[in-house]
Amino acid sequence: MQLRLQSFLERPKHARATVIDCRPGFEGPYFEGSGPEDSVCGHCSHVLIRGRLTAYLNLYLCCPSCGRYNLAHGGEEGERA
Ligand SMILES: [Zn+2]
pTM for the structure as a whole: 0.83
pLDDT single digits (tens) 57-71: 678 999 999 999 999
| pLDDT above 60: residue 2 | yes
Q: How far is the CA of 26 from the centre of ligand 1 (A)?
A: 13
Q: How far is the CA of 78 from the centre of ligand 1 (A)?
A: 30
Q: How far apart are CA 62 and CA 69, in angstroms?
A: 4
Q: How far apart are CA 54 and CA 63, in angstroms?
A: 20
Q: For residue 69, give the H/E element and its range.
A: strand 69-72
Q: How far apart are CA 23 and CA 72, in angstroms?
A: 18
Q: How far is the CA of 69 from the centre of ligand 1 (A)?
A: 8
